[in-house]
Amino acid sequence: MTLFWTTIGAILTLSIYSFLYKDNPFYKFAEHLVVGVSAGYYLVIYYWNYIDPNVVTPVFLLRVGADRIPLLGMDWWMALIPGILGLLLYMRFFPKVAWVGRWPLGIYVGGYAGLGLSPIMQARVITQLGANALPLAGVEDPFAAMTNLVLGISIFAVMTYLFVAKRSMGAGNKLVRAGVIVLAAVIGYVGYLALSLLSNAGVVSLTNILLVVGLLGTLSYFFFSMKHKGLLGGLARVGIVFLMVGFGASFGYTVMSRISLLIGRVGFLLHDWLHLID
Amino acid sequence: MFEDGARPSAAGFSMWAVVVVAMALAALFLCPALALAQEDLEVAEPETTAPVLLAPPRGLSIVDTRNDRGGSVTLTWELSPDEADGLVTGYEIHRSADPDTGFAFSGRVPAGSDTYRDSGLEDGAEYYHKVAATDGGIESFSEIVGPTVAFPQWFNRARINVLIAVIIFVLAIVYFVTSARSGKELFIRRLPGLDEVDNAVGRATEMGKPILYISGLSSISDVATIAAINILGEVAKKTAEYNTRLIVPCADPIVMAVEQEVVKEAYAEVGRPDSYNDDDVFYLTRSQFAYVAGVNGIMVRQRPATILYMGMFFAESLVLAETGASVGAIQIAGTDAVTQLPFFITSCDYTLIGEELYAASAYLSREPVLLGGLKGQDTVKFVVGVLLIIGFIVATLAATGAIPTDFMAPLYVTG
């Protein structure tokens, strides 16, 4: 009997996979079967998980241990109002009073939106703000030495480019300008080495700087009230780079988990059904 | 012992009987003696290993837990002096409604803890507590403290910052809604994905094919679903104008009811109530992959020219979007599901990322109420950005010792 049901499962699995080739009667059969069975299954789930415990039992029945006595429960009036609102949804089937069916929808949607405002403000705004208002220096950071190196080189290179190369060499000679920037970077590195010997190097936190810059940039990207030009535009571009790096990492991670789902299904076919692998 | 046909002799039987009676008598007298000897051993045992008497915790004080919904009190005490020697492994809290008797175990905290929140109490009832330092065996109790009464607070003072933030948000919305209603032009930057909605509807009309609108698998309590319903209203107006078929398979019965109303309203608003077909906005199933199978079937058989994915999506996102791409549909997606956005970005023509989804309905409709909401969100984002900049400057100054404390930190704490 187990082999029979395993074979049914395998045939349905292969029927669904046949969609990879093209739409066909096997896929149609499996599709309609799974949609129909799941819709019926969820009807029962909805009744026993929502309607029975929230309306039927408190209004019409009283639980005494495992028994249910047909009496008004303690909180029957609290369940009755939502119950009536739920029934009003069915008014939409009667065209003359269909408008009444909008009342429960309005209460439902408005209620959820209103109730969600305060928790979202707490969890997604204020708590996140606290978690990201981080010190950019004065904390231990595994990349601190590298941060100072990058910052030293970058600042010196940019300053040199802005105040020396751009003014004195014109806009045309890109090769010379690139050479100046490289030279400036080397000078910046030597300067960094000298400074690190003289001062307490490693106090700037690369991790925190990346986090704060990424957050400000991403926040700027989702600012809709101004055109993305100038400073806001630059920040927004930084933000979209951070977003895409994050999405790329998420993509790779999720693809791996989907591969494991495929492996599970192939394992079912080859192990449980065909017994070809141990 | 007995062979077939043989009988035991009378003498042999008597001997066995004497032995059995003797053993019974011996057991009768010896067992209590053995038991007494065992008790002696148990009593005598502590004499060989001297008991360690722990110093109890002192200064026990109990107050009603502030800023809660009732039903709990908070106990604080001074640690047992024996903690320094590593003798204490934890503290046990006992409570009773009577100071003289009936103390029952309420909870345990590890060594080093000097506070405990005792919950599950009845509001308005009096309770007495005592706390014991324990090494796992011996318990050394503090004095009994009480009576203490638990009661709820109407106002959670630890969330005043949340209240202020909500007030700023609501005031900003009211201000911008009023401005928009008075005719003031409110600017919203261009959102390329939404500009394409018009083109996508036009494409479907020209090709004589339907538009498929999928509003995710979440319930109406999800903000993304509400945003998806708002966008559906605007899309439905356009499909009604162009007389293009709009198919909306739903995964939630309440969402289906709302979407039927929204689409019907949109068709009525543009003067085409008769074009609305109730059967085009229908319930499919709640089951995730059964829903995917059904929608995929619709895609390959109906061949929609345009597919819009708006709302909350889970693992089904890539399967849906890949099938949509395979039938040659132009696809526009919008979701705040961070883990699903990469799949939509790679397989759809345009993707609305996170909050762009919430902005979409205001962008499409230009209705004052929705625009006001969007501007209100931007105001909060601006305030958050400013607070963030101030926050990390102050945190940096505090961490490097330039100022004594990070005075901004308490602003972010909520209870």
The answer to whether residues B257 and B287 touch, using CB atoms and an 8 Å cutoff, is no
The last residue of a domain, from among A129, A146, A171? A129
C-beta atoms of B398 and A135 within 8 A: yes
With beta carbons less than 8 A apart as the criterion, state whether B214 and B306 touch. Answer: no
Domain that holds residue A242: 209-278
The percent of residues in chain B predicted with pLDDT above 70, rounded, is 87
Quick check: B399 and A132 CB within 8 A? Answer: no
Same domain, A32 and A109: yes
How many beta carbons lie within 10 A of that of residue B55, not counting itself? Answer: 15
User: Closest approach of chain B CAs to the CA of A164, in angstroms?
Assistant: 31
Tokens of B20: 């059995």
In chain A, the number of structural domains is: 3
pLDDT in tens, chain A (278 residues): 688 989 999 999 999 999 988 889 999 999 999 999 999 998 999 889 988 888 777 777 666 666 666 555 556 777 788 888 888 988 878 888 888 888 888 888 888 888 888 888 888 889 988 888 888 776 666 666 666 666 666 666 666 665 665 555 555 566 776 777 777 777 766 666 665 555 444 456 777 878 888 899 999 999 998 888 888 888 899 899 999 999 999 888 888 888 888 899 899 899 888 888 87
Which of 60-99 (A) contact B at CB < 8 A? Answer: 89, 92
Chain A residue closest to B303 (CA)? A23
Please state whether the peptide bond connecting residue B56 to the residue before it is cis, i.e. omega within 30 degrees of 0.
no
**Which residue in the set A113, A126, A132 is minimally distant from B165, CB to CB?**
A126
pLDDT tens for B214-273 read: 999 998 878 899 889 989 999 999 999 999 999 999 999 889 988 999 999 999 999 999
Same domain, A156 and A226: no
Does residue A6 sit in the same domain as residue A43? yes
Looking at every residue in chain B, the average pLDDT score rounds to 84
Give kind and range of the element (H or E) at residue B333.
strand B330-335
pLDDT in the model for residue B242: 92
Q: From the DSSP assignment, how many helices (H) and strands (E) are in chain B?
A: 10, 14
The verdict on A144 and A39 lying in the same domain is no
Higher-pLDDT residue of B130 and B193 is B130
Does residue A8 sit in the same domain as residue A66? yes
Residues A96 and A147 in one domain: no
Residue A169: predicted pLDDT: 55
Residue B388 sits at the chain A interface (C-beta within 8 Å): yes
- SS3 of residue B63 by DSSP: strand
Which alpha helices (H) appear in B306-352, and where do they start and end? Answer: 317-326, 341-347
Q: Across residues B403-412, what is the average pLDDT?
A: 87
Q: Report whether CATH 2.40.50.100 matches the domain B58-149.
A: no
- Reported as a single tens digit per residue, the pLDDT across B302-320 is 999 999 999 999 989 999 9
- Facing residue for B396 by CB, picked from A136, A226, A254: A136
The contacts of residue B76 (CB under 8 Å, 6+ apart) are B60, B61, B62, B114, B115
User: Which uninterrupted H or E stretch holds B181?
Assistant: helix B160-181
**Comparison of pLDDT for B24 and B201, the residue scoring more:** B201
In this prediction the ipTM stands at: 0.72
Give the nearest chain A residue to B374 (CA atoms). A224
Q: Name which of B253, B250, B261 is nearest B217 in CA terms.
A: B250
| Closest of B129, B122, B139, B281 to residue B210, by C-alpha | B281
Residue B160, CA distances (Å) to A126, B288, B415 in order: 11, 40, 9
Residues A73 and A61: beta-carbon distance below 8 Å:
yes
Task: For residues A103 and A150, state if they share a domain.
Answer: no
Whether B392 sits inside 8 A of A135 (CB atoms) is yes
Q: Can you identify the CATH homologous superfamily of domain B186-366?
A: TPP-binding domain (3.40.50.1220)
Residue ranges of B 275-294 with Cβ closer than 8 A to chain A: 283-287, 289-291, 293-294
Q: Please give, rounded to a whole number of angstroms, the shortest distance from the CA of A246 to a CA of chain B.
A: 9
CA–CA distance, A275 with A254 (Å, rounded to integer): 29
Please list every residue in chain B whose beta carbon sits closer than 8 Å to the beta carbon of residue A41: 287
pLDDT band at B47 (very low <50, low <70, confident <90, very high): very low
| φ, ψ (nearest 5 deg) of residue B169 | -60, -50
User: CB contact, 8 Å: A51 with chain B?
Assistant: no
DSSP B205-242: HHHT--EEEEEES--TTSHHHHHHHHHHHHHHHHHHHH
Q: What is the pLDDT of residue A65?
A: 61
Chain B hits for A26, CB-CB cut-off 8 Å, are: none
Domain termination residue (choose one: A112, A129, A146): A129
Indicate if A48 and A161 belong to the same structural domain.
Answer: no
Same domain, A48 and A125: yes
For position B9, what pLDDT does the model report?
44
SS (H, E, C) chain A: CHHHHHHHHHHHHHHHHHHHCCCCHHHHHHHHHHHHHHHHHHHHHHHHHHHHHHHHHHHHCEEECCEEECCCCCCHHHHHHHHHHHHHHHHHHCHHHHHHHHHHHHHHHHHHHHHHHHHHHHHHHHHHHHHHCCCCECCCCCCHHHHHHHHHHHHHHHHHHHHHHHHHHCCCCHHHHHHHHHHHHHHHHHHHHHHHHHCCCCCECHHHHHHHHHHHHHHHHCCCCCCCCHHHHHHHHHHHHHHHHHHHHHHHHHHHHHHHHHHHHHHHHHHHHCCCCC
Query: Cβ–Cβ of A219/B388 closer than 8 Å?
Result: yes
B352 chain-A contacts, CB cut-off 8 A: none
pLDDT digits (tens, 9 = 90+) for B100-156: 888 888 888 998 888 999 888 888 889 999 998 888 777 788 888 878 988 888 888
> Over the stretch A71-101, which tens digit does the pLDDT of each residue have?
555 567 777 888 888 889 888 788 888 888 8
**Shared domain check, A161 and A94:** no
- Residue A149: predicted pLDDT: 65
Please name the residue that has the structure tokens 């309590």. B221
A80 and A30 within one domain? yes
pLDDT at B332: 95
| Residues B220, A109: C-beta atoms closer than 8 Å | yes
